[in-house]
Amino acid sequence: MASASVAASIGVGFSLSAAPGPASAGQAAGNANRLPLGLTSPSGAQRRAGSGRPDSASAEAKGSASGKPASGKAASGKTAAGKSGQHKVPATAAQKSAATGHKAAGKSKAKPYLIYDSVDPQAIPAGQVVATYATGAHPIPTSAVAGRRRVIWIDTLGTDPSANELDIEPGCASPSQAAGWVRARLTSHPGATAILYSSISEWSEIRADVASLPAWMRAKIRWWIADPTGSPHMVPGAQATQWYWGPNYDISTALPGLT
């Protein structure tokens, strides 16, 4: 974290200071296709200001950062209040390891792949799958991702059924909005999937909310769960796991069929 004061203003009470450093993250990205699908820690971590939510923390981050502060992330070299200010992955190492992982994943649709999410998509290494924000305090224009081969759009308010994912966490959409958003998305896009992002701690509440949906809609729900241990893994029952929080972007591993 470049700015301790900004990190303190987020104040979500979760630290990755004991998690593996850059070498571990790089190695994990380069071996994404060989993930152990074992049990993981029930950390209940959340995406830290991860949507450009219009709260005081975001406003303070904006005042102390030169990049987009919506998720506390900014372009390389700028002050940021990311999901974990404890991890810093050198751009060259991230690009090399992620490229290796994607090359391996591209050989077979059955293999996992990486997703990088950020409010500043220009900070994401070239060639990577990008996830960025369609709604919130600082929605990202489509021009910011021009030329990207694949983009996953995140709805933080529960108002955009055209987005691929609903961001469910404090300050963003609530668990009680999940079923309504899934219904709206699949009604307008019946051939799509409906991705629900949350922490492990909120997962059961969200599952209860969507339990009343028709079976065909429930079958199209995909779970993107945050468990930022710093090492690549897949939370059992999820189709994507966000395992790394960084100052410029976060990294998740996704299984085929997420989108």
Reported as a single tens digit per residue, the pLDDT across 7-47 is 332 222 223 333 333 344 444 445 444 444 433 323 333 35
Please indicate, yes or no, if residue 143 is contained in any of the structural domains. Answer: yes
Average pLDDT over residues 169-182: 97
Pick from 150, 101, 104, 95: nearest CA to 126: 95
The CATH code of the domain that includes 134 is 3.20.20
Please indicate, yes or no, if residue 96 is contained in any of the structural domains. Answer: yes
Residue 77 has pLDDT above 70, yes or no: no
- At residue 133, φ and ψ (nearest 5 deg) are -100, 130
The pLDDT, as a whole number, for residue 138 is: 86
Average pLDDT over residues 62-90: 32
Q: Predicted confidence band at 54 (pLDDT cuts at 50, 70, 90)?
A: very low
Please indicate, yes or no, if residue 136 is contained in any of the structural domains. Answer: yes
Average pLDDT over residues 54-76: 32
The pLDDT, as a whole number, for residue 110 is: 65
Residues 6+ apart with CB under 8 A from 203: 223, 225
Please indicate, yes or no, if residue 78 is contained in any of the structural domains. Answer: no
Number of domains in the chain: 1
127-133 long-range contacts, Cβ below 8 Å, gap at least 24? Answer: 127/95, 127/98, 127/99, 127/102, 128/98, 128/102, 129/102, 129/254, 131/165, 131/252, 133/51, 133/52, 133/70, 133/71
Q: What is the pTM (predicted TM-score) of this model?
A: 0.65
Pick from 152, 106, 154, 98: nearest CA to 127: 98
The pLDDT, as a whole number, for residue 239 is: 98
Using CA atoms, how far residue 12 sits from 8, 44, 177, in Å, is 9, 11, 22
CA torsion angle 121 135 164 93 (round to 10)? 20
Least reliable range by pLDDT among 52-66, 105-119, 210-224:
52-66
Please indicate, yes or no, if residue 123 is contained in any of the structural domains. Answer: yes
Pick from 53, 70, 60, 252: nearest CA to 169: 53
> CB-hemisphere CA count at 13 Å for 195?
25
Residue 202 has pLDDT above 80, yes or no: yes
Please indicate, yes or no, if residue 29 is contained in any of the structural domains. Answer: yes
Residue 104 has pLDDT above 60, yes or no: no
Please indicate, yes or no, if residue 12 is contained in any of the structural domains. Answer: no
Percent with pLDDT over 70 in the chain: 58
Please indicate, yes or no, if residue 138 is contained in any of the structural domains. Answer: yes
Range(s) of the domain holding residue 192: 21-52+87-254
